[in-house]
């Protein structure tokens, strides 16, 4: 009889991954949401939905940078929530008497399209090589300059430019493959 690894139930493995990879970032995530989206009424909902989405993604694929994906997901959810508030303001039920039950509004379709585009963007970023993804996120999510990125990652500004160009090209190709843009320029 050969020695084998003990079988870890799926739920235990998921719980351990959650505890190890996501939960430690919750205070920083909440602080980020408070500072970036001060008008957001309930950050707890955004945090919980972000966790739920990452757990669903983790069930189907390996997540190489859980922290980056957690923050990106929370940011996209917060933006979607704020857009939804602008498009569909809260209205008391008594004010809706006499209005049509079905409202044709292109805004709802736009929100769904944007939500899908955000999901594809997260997938595209996840598909990038790790260093390339770091450079793209530091540039576009955190707004760092080439020089600041170079200092933070210990690489030259020219290498930053190469990684950024590579990341943008790969993301453009990823979008084109899914029909979200025209064909990528050659």
Instruction: Tell me the pLDDT tens digit for each residue of 112-129.
Output: 566 667 777 888 888 889
Q: Encode pLDDT of 81-102 as tens digits.
A: 877 765 444 444 444 444 444 4
Max intra-chain CA distance, the chain: 76
In this model, does residue 11 exceed pLDDT 70? no
Place of tokens 């049509």: 100
Neighbouring residues of 50: CB distance < 8 A, sequence distance ≥ 6: 29, 70, 73, 74, 77
Using alpha carbons, select from 27, 56, 57, 59 the residue that is nearest to residue 44.
27
The pLDDT assigned to 186 comes to 53
Q: Quote the pTM value.
A: 0.43
Q: Which two tokens stand for residue 40?
A: 């957001």
Tokens of 171: 């993301």
pLDDT at 177: 81
- The architecture in CATH of the region 128-186 reads Orthogonal Bundle (1.10)
pLDDT reading at 10 higher than 80: no
Domain coordinates in residue numbering, the chain: 11-88+108-125, 128-186
Percent of the chain with pLDDT strictly greater than 70: 73
* Angstrom distance (rounded) from CA 17 to CA 3: 25
184 pLDDT higher than 90:
no
Q: Which residue matches tokens 């940011």?
A: 75
Return the pLDDT at 87: 47
Q: C-alpha angle 46/51/57, rounded to 5°? A: 125
pLDDT at 71 over 80: yes
Q: Sorting pLDDT into bands at 50, 70 and 90, what band is 163?
A: very high
């Amino acid at each position: 009889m050969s020695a084998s690894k003990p079988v870890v139930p799926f739920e235990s493995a998921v719980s351990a991954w959650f505890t190890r990879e996501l939960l430690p970032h919750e205070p920083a995530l909440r602080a980020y949401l408070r500072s970036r989206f001060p008008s957001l009424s309930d950050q707890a909902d955004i945090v919980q939905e972000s966790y739920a989405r990452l757990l669903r993604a983790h069930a189907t694929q390996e997540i190489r940078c859980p922290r980056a994906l957690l923050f990106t997901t929370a940011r996209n959810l917060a933006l979607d929530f704020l857009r939804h508030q602008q498009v569909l303001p809260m209205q008391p039920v008594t004010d809706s008497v006499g209005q049509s039950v079905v409202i044709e509004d292109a805004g709802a379709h736009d929100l769904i399209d944007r939500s899908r585009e955000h999901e594809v963007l997260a997938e595209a970023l996840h598909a990038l090589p790790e260093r390339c993804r770091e450079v793209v996120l530091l540039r576009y999510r955190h707004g760092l300059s080439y020089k600041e990125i170079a200092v933070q990652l210990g690489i030259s500004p020219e290498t930053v430019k190469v990684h950024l160009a590579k990341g943008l090209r790969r993301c453009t190709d990823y979008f084109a493959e899914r029909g979200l843009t025209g064909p990528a320029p050659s």
